Amino acid sequence: MHQRRSIRLEGYNYAQEGAYFVTICTQNRADVLGRIVDGAVQLNDSGDVVNKYWLEISDHFPNAEADGFVIMPNHFHGILIIQDRRGEAHDPAQKGAVTAPLRQCTLGQIIAYFKYQTTKAINQIHNATGVPFWQRNYYEHVIRNETDLNEIRQYILDNPVKWDLDEENPNRRKMHNKRNANHAKPFSHCVVAIHDRRGEVSSPTTKGAVTAPLRRRI
C-alpha cells in the first residue's frame, strides 16, 4: 500500500504556542470557492461556508486564534495562532456552570476539524454525501518572528491582486503548459545536416588571407 509522505516537521510539537501559516487546496485544485474580479475576491456559497468556519475557530478551540486569511478560488491561506491555555477554565455559558480545564489541541486537529465541518456543510448545500472537497493534506509554515508574520500578512493581502500570476491559477498553468508545448521540439523531429568538408579551406574574409583546414566538430 502506498504511504503518504508526511510534510510536517519531524519531532515538532504542533500543540505548543506559536503562529502557523496554513495553505489548504481544494480537491484537484478546482475553482469551487468563488472567483477573482478586478483584484477582489467574490465568494460563492462554498466560499461563504469556509469564511464562516474559519472565523469560528476560537469558538471550538479556545487556545486557537484565527489571524489574517484569504479565500481564493481553489485554495485557502490562513494564519493560526495557538496559545498555551492549559489549566484555565473556559467561560461557562451558564452562570455557575463548571467546565473542565482546556485541553491543548494541535494544529493538525484544528485543521482536521475545519476541513471536516466545511466539507460536510458544503455537501449539504449541494445535496451530496461523502464527496471530498479538500485535498487530503495541507501545507504549513512555522512563523518564526514578527518580521515573518508581517510578510505573510502582506502576502495574504496581495494574493487576490496577483491572482493572474499565482501558480495555483489554472488559467495561468494552462497558458504556461501551452507555451512549453509550442516551444518544445522532440528530438525525432530535429534534422541536423553535417557535411564532411575536411580538407577544404573556408572563404577568407580578407583577400589573400589563409585559413587552416576545417576541423569537424559535433
Instruction: Name the packing angle between helices 107-125 and 45-55 (round to 10°).
Output: 150
- Residue found under cell 485535498: 135
Top pLDDT among 91 and 189 is at 91
Q: Which three cell numbers stand for residue 172?
A: 495561468
AA letter at 130: G
Q: pLDDT band for position 22 (50/70/90)?
A: very high
| Alpha-carbon gap, residue 199 to 177, rounded angstroms | 47
pLDDT (0 to 100) of residue 160: 95
- With H, G, I as helix, E, B as strand and everything else as coil, classify residue 172: helix
pLDDT (0 to 100) of residue 168: 78
Please choose, from the candidates 126, 125, 139, 130, the residue with its C-alpha nearest in 3D space to the C-alpha of residue 168.
139
Mean pLDDT of 90-94: 46
Q: Which residues contact 87 (CB under 8 A, 6 or more apart)?
A: 101, 102
The yes-or-no verdict on residue 32 having pLDDT over 80 is yes
Summarize pLDDT for 97-133 with one digit per residue, the tens: 444 445 678 999 999 999 999 999 999 999 999 999 9
Could you tell me the domains of the chain? 18-180 (3.30.70.1290)
pLDDT (0 to 100) of residue 78: 97
| Alpha-carbon gap, residue 70 to 112, rounded angstroms | 18
Q: What percent of the chain shows pLDDT beyond 90? A: 56
pLDDT (0 to 100) of residue 217: 37
Mean pLDDT of 56-65: 94
In a 13 Å sphere around the CA of 102, the CA atoms on its Cβ side amount to: 22
pLDDT (0 to 100) of residue 86: 62
Indicate the pTM of the whole model.
0.68
| Alpha-carbon gap, residue 202 to 193, rounded angstroms | 18
**For 170-177, which contacts have Cβ atoms below 8 Å and span 24 or more sequence positions?**
170/29, 170/31, 170/74
**For residues 82 and 18, is the Cβ–Cβ distance under 8 A?**
yes
Q: Residue 127: left if φ>0, alpha if ψ -120 to 50, beta else—which one?
A: left
Q: Which three cell numbers stand for residue 155?
A: 502576502
- With H, G, I as helix, E, B as strand and everything else as coil, classify residue 141: strand
